[in-house]
């Protein structure tokens, strides 16, 4: 029987295949403190990481045959430190593609048709008559518009597919040229040119040192004043103060945001803006998606314990050393 640490109180449905193992998990909705983690990590054979795993934590995980990220993202896990220590790190990227892509499209449709703004105005108005006046509450038709996808991975490719279905022209920026099976007829552009051409820019790249503030003040200034930004990836991809300023001054038409630079805190200035739709990082918040995330994490743990190379290793070179 192996000792398995699940760092947060996520739903246990889906972890059933680990029932024969010794599981340690905080109560539902809670998480272990950093001090708790540091004191207990040396006791565990595998870790399901739902939050940060920094170098110091990795150094304490002396028995770990695997650290697996509970989701597609892994920017909070120090993969370099794990690699130096010979600890394999995996993630479960296929689990959240549909749910995150759908959320990106929900934000895209909501902000371009002013759904959030008009919902609030209808609820708060003393009289709703003016809101029904002919020619009021105008939105944007997506058919014929240009969708710029930054990061043509699993989620970005699905968003591109949705955009084409709505009649949008799709362009993309990615580290390499993607095959037709992934990008369809989308044209690959340098980031600056994509920003100049796009009516909607949707971010789908991972957060790395190279992509931190990939949309900074200079890049945001390249976007059209009629353009919209969608971010369901990571908040630190954008310079949030610069984004807020662009939204406040009309240099950007609107934004749909599921992620924030300082989350779980969200800027009061951002929350006051009528031309922004906001959700609290809910890309995977669907019961079936969470169950699949748990199932795939559990399978990767079992594979590692059995000496079988887990799928989606982020540092595959360490596997022979750890096995």
- Same domain for 56 and 88? yes
Instruction: Tell me if 278 sits within 8 A of 117, measured CB to CB.
Output: no
pLDDT category of residue 240 using cuts at 50, 70 and 90: very high
Instruction: Tell me if 267 sits within 8 A of 242, measured CB to CB.
Output: no
DSSP state letters, 135-193:
T-S-----TTPEEEEE--SHHHHHHHHHHHHTT-EEEEE-SSPPPHHHHTTPEE--HHH
- Span 55-76, pLDDT tens digits: 999 999 999 999 999 999 999 9
User: Is 248 among the catalytic positions?
Assistant: no
- Span 12-33, pLDDT tens digits: 888 999 999 999 999 988 999 9
- Same domain for 274 and 253? yes
Nearest to 203 by CA among 172, 182, 176: 172
CATH number at residue 313: 3.40.50.720
- Same domain for 18 and 87? yes
The catalytically annotated residue of 102, 161, 245, 263 is 263
- Same domain for 120 and 47? no
Partners of residue 313 on adjacent β-strands: 90
For the chain, what's the residue count?
323
- Same domain for 18 and 166? no
78 φ/ψ angles, rounded to the nearest 5 degrees: -80, 85
3 three-class SS: strand
User: Is 213 among the catalytic positions?
Assistant: no
Nearest to 297 by CA among 22, 34, 89, 97: 89
List all residues 6 or more positions away from 18 whose beta carbon is below 8 Å from its beta carbon: 4, 298, 301, 302
- Same domain for 70 and 11? yes
Which H or E element spans position 49?
strand 46-49
If you ran DSSP here, which 8-state letter would residue 120 be given?
H
- Same domain for 144 and 59? no
Instruction: Tell me if 237 sits within 8 A of 213, measured CB to CB.
Output: yes
- Same domain for 122 and 188? yes
Q: How far is CA 277 from the centre of its chain?
A: 16
Measured distance CA(198)–CA(264) in Å, rounded: 30
- What range defines the domain where residue 183 resides? 97-278
- Same domain for 69 and 201? no
- Same domain for 79 and 108? no
- Span 251-289, pLDDT tens digits: 999 999 999 999 999 999 999 999 999 999 999 999 999
Q: Return the residue matching tokens 């003040």.
A: 217
The catalytically annotated residue of 60, 169, 281, 322 is 281
Domain count, the chain: 2
pLDDT category of residue 175 using cuts at 50, 70 and 90: confident
pLDDT category of residue 126 using cuts at 50, 70 and 90: confident
- CA distances to 13, 120, 153, 196, 277 from 139, in Å: 41, 16, 30, 21, 14
Which H or E element spans position 12?
none
DSSP state letters, 56-76:
HHHHH-TT-SEEEESSS--TT
- Same domain for 60 and 200? no
- Span 154-166, pLDDT tens digits: 999 999 999 999 9
Query: Taking the complete model, does pTM exceed 0.85, yes or no?
Result: yes
90 three-class SS: strand
The catalytically annotated residue of 91, 234, 290, 292 is 234
- Same domain for 29 and 84? yes
């Amino acid at each position: 029987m192996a000792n398995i640490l699940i760092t947060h109180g996520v739903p246990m449905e889906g972890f059933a295949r680990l029932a024969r193992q010794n599981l340690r998990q905080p109560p539902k909705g809670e998480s272990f403190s950093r001090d708790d983690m540091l004191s207990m990590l040396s006791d565990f054979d595998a870790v399901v990481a739902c939050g940060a795993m920094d170098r110091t934590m990795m150094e304490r995980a002396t028995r770990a045959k695997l650290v697996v990220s509970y989701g597609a993202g892994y920017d909070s896990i120090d993969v370099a430190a794990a690699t130096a220590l010979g600890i394999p790190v995996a993630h479960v990227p296929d689990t959240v593609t549909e749910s995150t892509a759908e959320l990106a499209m929900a934000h895209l449709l909501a902000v371009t048709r002013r759904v959030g703004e008009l919902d609030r105005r209808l609820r708060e108005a003393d009289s709703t008559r003016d809101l029904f006046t002919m020619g009021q509450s105008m939105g944007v038709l997506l058919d014929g518009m240009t969708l710029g996808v930054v990061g043509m991975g699993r989620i970005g490719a699905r968003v591109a597919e949705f955009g084409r279905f709505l009649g949008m022209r799709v362009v993309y920026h990615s580290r390499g040229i993607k095959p037709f099976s992934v990008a369809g007829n989308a044209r690959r552009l340098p980031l600056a040119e994509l920003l100049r051409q796009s009516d909607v820019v949707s971010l789908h790249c991972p957060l790395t040192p190279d992509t931190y503030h990939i949309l900074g003040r200079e890049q945001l200034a390249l976007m059209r004043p009629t353009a919209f930004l969608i971010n369901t990836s990571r908040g630190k991809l954008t310079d949030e103060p610069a984004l807020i300023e662009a939204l406040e001054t009309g240099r950007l038409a609107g934004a749909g945001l599921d992620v924030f630079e300082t989350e779980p805190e969200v800027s009061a200035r951002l929350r006051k803006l009528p031309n922004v739709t906001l959700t609290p990082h809910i890309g995977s918040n669907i019961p079936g998606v969470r169950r699949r995330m748990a199932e795939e994490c559990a399978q990767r743990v079992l594979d590692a314990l059995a000496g079988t190379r887990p799928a989606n290793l982020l540092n595959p070179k360490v596997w022979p050393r750890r096995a």
